Amino acid sequence: MLRRLLYLNGLATVAAVIHHAIHWALTAMFWWADRYRPVSVPNYDQMGSAAYYLLRLVDQLAISALPVFLFVSGFYVAFTNKDRKGREAWGLVLGRMRWLLLPYLLWSSLVLLEGYYDGRSYDFWKIVNIYLTGGAAAPYYYVPLIVQLYLLSPFILPMVRKHPVGILLLGFLLQIVVAISWYLPWFGVSGSAMEPAMSLLRQWPPLAYAAWFIMGMVASVHLNAFERLLSRHKRWLLLALALGFVLGQVEWGALIHLSGKEWLSPQLTIMNKFFVLLVLLSFLCFKGINPIDPSVAEFIGIRSYGVYLIHAPVLEFSARAVYHFAPGFLAYTPLFLACLVIAGLTLPLISMAVIQRSPFKKHYRDLFG
């Protein structure tokens, strides 16, 4: 199972790069359209085009990256804490946090310096808020999220051992409630007595994502029962997977239509969460499914944290370079997306390889975790 999870971690890293590259492809489609067409922006007339649906279809798979990362992390925490209690368990958690936070603070600082150079202003409390919430770059919110879950893990693990079904159901129930809290503003339901609570649900990521981390812990602690359950129902998984994919697309289109808005920022909606769950279970159940070569996926999986931290500024730099120096290329959405994904994967891996073979190799873990 551990080998399979390393492979899964590599796939999730690729998916994360694709998901965040799609953000820039959508930006080019709607907000940068004036760079290659005589229109005013934002311009949404490409909604419903073949290129738009290509992005939607790919993103429904790619958006599974964060839940997969959390599942793998939860499995790892439970596995390594199997025979540890008290100070030993906390020592492992704090040690892991150190290797997460040092590279995160470094790369966040570099992104902030780049923003300052571009003319953005930051006061002290804004900088503190950025570090605490992962606000330096859009993907960085994952780091404060996983740190909070690591800190909660010594308290969650005893419940996972004693009441695995109950704690897992509670986690997924919270996911549904958080998803509904996002739906309400889209439909103009705000200002009610429940709004402060809904706002808290939207703003505290552990409530929205803890279920995936808990699921990884449950799978680790109760591995034999987990694998038997998957084996028993594997024939239905692929059928449910196809149905979940269709429902996810239908739900997103319905949300945009019923909300009356031209655009909604992509979110893990209820149907998408259901689809991601099926993707994860199917991958673990059908061990012969290998979308890319296992050695490549494992190579990326080992370096996943470094790629995750570096790919965000690489994607932004690459997209803005095309905007300024080759704006006509923005019109070719599939090619633009492919180039961003290649840059977002290869440049971080090359940077890591260079450092690993340089006099600075002793600082490799400080830079990339």
Pair (114, 180) in one structural domain: yes
**Paired tokens of 297:** 């996926």
Q: Which domain holds residue 11?
A: 1-62+292-369
Q: Is residue 317 part of a domain?
A: yes
Contact 323, 32 (CB under 8 A): yes
Residues 103 and 23 in one domain: no
Same domain, yes or no, for 45 and 151?
no
pLDDT by residue, tens only, the chain of 369 residues: 777 888 899 999 999 999 999 999 999 999 999 999 999 989 999 988 999 999 999 999 999 999 999 999 999 998 888 766 656 667 777 888 888 999 999 999 999 988 888 778 888 898 999 999 999 998 999 999 999 999 999 899 999 999 999 999 999 888 888 888 777 777 766 655 566 666 666 678 888 899 999 999 999 999 988 888 888 888 888 888 889 889 988 888 888 887 777 777 777 788 888 899 998 988 888 776 777 888 888 899 999 999 999 999 999 999 999 999 999 999 999 999 999 999 999 999 999 999 999 998 888 988 998
Q: Are residues 232 and 342 in the same domain?
A: no
Is residue 265 situated within a structural domain?
no
* 3-class SS string, 276-338: HHHHHHHHHHCCCCCCCCHHHHHHHHHCHHHHHHHHHHHHHHHHHHHHHHCHHHHHCHHHHHH
Are residues 160 and 89 part of one domain? yes
Predicted structure pTM score: 0.91
Looking at the fold, whether 213 and 125 belong to one and the same domain comes out as yes
| Inside any domain, residue 211 | yes
Quote the CA–CA distance of 108 and 130 in Å, as a whole number. Answer: 9
Q: Mark whether 45 and 138 lie in a shared domain.
A: no
| DSSP 8-state assignment for residue 90 | H
∠ CA 307-310-314, rounded to 5°: 115
> Does 151 reside within a domain?
yes
In sequence order, what are the residues at sequence separation of 6 or more whose Cβ sits closer than 8 angstroms to the Cβ of residue 140?
Answer: 104, 107, 108, 111, 134, 309, 312
Q: Is residue 194 part of a domain?
A: yes
What are φ and ψ of residue 348, in 5° steps? Answer: -60, -45
SS (H, E, C) 203-230: HCHHHHHHHHHHHHHHHHHCHHHHHHHH
Same domain membership, residue 236 and residue 90: yes
Q: How many domains does the chain have?
A: 2
How far lies 343's CA from each of 152, 313, 318, 354, in Å? 35, 11, 8, 16
* Domain shared by 202 and 235, yes or no: yes
Instruction: Supply angle C-alpha 204, 208, 212, rounded to 5.
Output: 130
